[in-house]
Structure 1
């Protein structure tokens, strides 16, 4: 006995504040497409969030509550991939060239005149849906390959699946050795506005710039992965919360200094970073740590962005410095050197030497290699000050 399967029609969302325009479009395409219609951009956006069957959006520009530009910017800036990739066709009326250029910059897929006939409209929509399906299949193939590969072919960073796999190994090692492990989640501030103001091309360039900065700033043992168009995660084994916060502040300040120029317009960028560490947040799964860090990012975004958030709220340099000065940690000193802050370690070199002195004495007692222990003991007590006011061993210029 055979069974019949109904092939569902592709669903199109039509957004226009004119009931007559919506009715005309529906009349043209209802035999080939399943249609949902809404009267303004805000209602259209809500429909996209709750209806995953929608595969294409037809939208007017001038509408109440949220216009077509705003709806398009939300779609292209969405962190939900199925929404971000939707073809968006502008229902074109009497808009001027400037309006069309703005829509293209925001990522519009095509334009259709309000008076277009059935044949033209159907051809445009079917062509865009075929293209979108092809892209989706390519992305799915790439995702399948990425699961098997530790490196994303586009960003050059670790894939999220590899990050999770590697992170659980590092977490198990930290549990066995009672070691430290920390996570940062980094968000580009106002990413949706950047997309709306400058277009998807510029927003993607900013994402790539942050990706490059991260790949050059982290240690070899750290793992960086891109979680979405505007979000990254960094796994830092053998690093406690203070060390991770120190690195996060350095990254935040580096992004503050970055200015990108596009069409003679200077674009300033900032990031909000959430930090979580097993030492204070518990030896949970790495997924829990990333979720905790992500919640702290949201706290920072709600407070205005461009800040680092730890377990006790916003983190600044004074807080990090005060924590570091409480106990001189060799791990912290090594971390500072690895991230290019050797001068900061040099300022506290007497404390480093004093911390290492018992180990150096053991080394000398076993190897008899002639370490200048007495000199190191004196240096560990603090640099002597000469009669000229300069530190011992230094001459004033």
Structure 2
């Protein structure tokens, strides 16, 4: 007969090079906890990687191969949240106050003196386990809430599930309007190095700052999600073509590059690798394919050294994007020219103007059919050989 998860005794890893100390601890907590014993920090670390049932670590400081400080550092820097968030209690001997301060600074949760009686030891371990389980339950509740809510309670951004839902709608709308839409995947460079140096908590604060920075630069119709641990996904509303999407990506990259964040008197600078994909330009009508293509290009940008923007033709040339945008006339400027009678040179701009106004013309014809020759106008816009950009407004947001 096997026990259910709730009936099993909590499993504790005891790491100490003294067999007598380990035996004493086992004697005191037998019947309340299940104990796994290891004789040094290296063996303890290996046990943590292969034994997901361990809920608490009780470790000595002075040990061969890997001491308690080293084991504690590895635990707190682990990329596996199950390991990183384990409560760690130090078996304290005659160490001075500086040793305790160092252990606390590395993330120790408590201390028990060697030779402590059953009451003190059980009280310490039970208290930490209750706290740990409560935090785990809270984390699971947050995940459940996020799955049933369009907004992630931690980041304040939409959830990946809602992004996929909204993306399906946006792509379908773009197809109806015969307009383009863009997906951007923005990935934090040197994520592992930042976690190792500053800790996961600090990196999460950095990611929240980046999320706010990006949110401030998008339109209300655009949708931003934290797609993975170090990755944001942005889906534009219909109308964002390749040039405007790449221009936005370049602006975000430049803003992040200039950003300097402070934490405990330390300056933190980060960069982003960004991939851009477009529904029309890349021939992708399925949302998952569009996002996957943008993620693949973000990976290419990171492999090329990071702090880059990649699209269909490889790394995006900022100068070329500026030239493409410059070819799009401002509707306001054209109207001012017409009002003033200065019509010279406007004929050459007609194809680009038609391209810029086509979404509006299609909307008018769909809601108030007046017989606009849309097919002839579309043929006219292609005669100019210009890019399909939504005019001046799309230069500032995706």
Is the structural similarity TM-score above 0.5?
yes
Tell me the distance in 1 between the aligned counterparts of 2:275 and 2:38: 38
1:209 Cα shift?
A: 1.5
After superposition, the CA RMSD in angstroms is 4.1
Conserved in 2, the CA contact under 8 Å of 1:74 and 1:192? no
Instruction: Please state if 1:140 is matched with 2:109.
Output: no
1:190 Cα shift?
A: 3.6
Instruction: Please state whether the residue corresponding to 2:346 is helix, strand or coil.
Output: helix
Structure 2 residue aligned with 1:337: none
Tell me the distance in 2 between the aligned counterparts of 1:21 and 1:311: 63
1:204 Cα shift?
A: 3.5
Tell me the distance in 2 between the aligned counterparts of 1:88 and 1:175: 55
Instruction: Please state if 1:352 is matched with 2:355.
Output: no
Instruction: Please state if 1:121 is matched with 2:104.
Output: no
Choose which of 346, 350, 356 in structure 2 pairs with 1:377.
346
Conserved in 1, the CA contact under 8 Å of 2:191 and 2:230? yes
Conserved in 2, the CA contact under 8 Å of 1:188 and 1:230? yes
Choose which of 298, 320, 323 in structure 2 pairs with 1:322.
320
Conserved in 2, the CA contact under 8 Å of 1:15 and 1:41? yes
Tell me the distance in 2 between the aligned counterparts of 1:46 and 1:246: 48
288 and 379 in structure 1: CA distance in 2 versus 1, 3 angstrom threshold: closer
Structure 1 segment 125-204 matched on structure 2, within 5 A? 125-199=125-199, 201-204=201-204
Structure 1 residue aligned with 2:375: none
172 and 137 in structure 1: CA distance in 2 versus 1, 3 angstrom threshold: same
Choose which of 67, 74, 77 in structure 2 pairs with 1:74.
77
Structure 2 residue aligned with 1:339: none
Tell me the distance in 1 between the aligned counterparts of 2:127 and 2:74: 22
Instruction: Please state whether the residue corresponding to 2:216 is helix, strand or coil.
Output: helix
Unpaired segments of 5 or more residues in structure 2?
Answer: 351-398
Structure 1 segment 49-88 matched on structure 2, within 5 A? 50-59=50-59, 64=65, 67-75=70-78, 78=79, 81-88=81-88
**Of 213-222 and 246-255, the range deviating more from structure 2:** 246-255
Conserved in 2, the CA contact under 8 Å of 1:107 and 1:200? no
265 and 115 in structure 1: CA distance in 2 versus 1, 3 angstrom threshold: farther
Conserved in 1, the CA contact under 8 Å of 2:183 and 2:234? yes
Deviations 1:42-98 (A, max 9, x none): 6656655554433334455676479224313323xx3x5544443333455566656
Instruction: Please state whether the residue corresponding to 1:180 is helix, strand or coil.
Output: coil
Instruction: Please state if 1:252 is matched with 2:253.
Output: yes
380 and 236 in structure 1: CA distance in 2 versus 1, 3 angstrom threshold: closer
Tell me the distance in 2 between the aligned counterparts of 1:47 and 1:241: 50
Tell me the distance in 2 between the aligned counterparts of 1:208 and 1:161: 19
Conserved in 2, the CA contact under 8 Å of 1:73 and 1:195? no
1:206 Cα shift?
A: 1.9
141 and 20 in structure 1: CA distance in 2 versus 1, 3 angstrom threshold: same
Tell me the distance in 1 between the aligned counterparts of 2:97 and 2:278: 52
Tell me the distance in 2 between the aligned counterparts of 1:99 and 1:74: 20
Structure 2 residue aligned with 1:219: 219
Instruction: Please state whether the residue corresponding to 1:237 is helix, strand or coil.
Output: coil
Instruction: Please state whether the residue corresponding to 1:220 is helix, strand or coil.
Output: coil
84 and 271 in structure 1: CA distance in 2 versus 1, 3 angstrom threshold: farther
**Of 241-250 and 86-95, the range deviating more from structure 2:** 86-95
Tell me the distance in 1 between the aligned counterparts of 2:40 and 2:307: 33
**Of 251-260 and 190-199, the range deviating more from structure 2:** 190-199
1:158 Cα shift?
A: 1.3
Conserved in 1, the CA contact under 8 Å of 2:75 and 2:83? no
Structure 1 residue aligned with 2:363: none
Conserved in 1, the CA contact under 8 Å of 2:42 and 2:71? no
1:216 Cα shift?
A: 0.6
Conserved in 2, the CA contact under 8 Å of 1:187 and 1:273? yes
Tell me the distance in 2 between the aligned counterparts of 1:46 and 1:279: 50
Tell me the distance in 2 between the aligned counterparts of 1:44 and 1:298: 35
291 and 39 in structure 1: CA distance in 2 versus 1, 3 angstrom threshold: farther
1:149 Cα shift?
A: 2.7
Deviations 1:204-253 (A, max 9, x none): 43222112212112222221122455432222233344543332232222
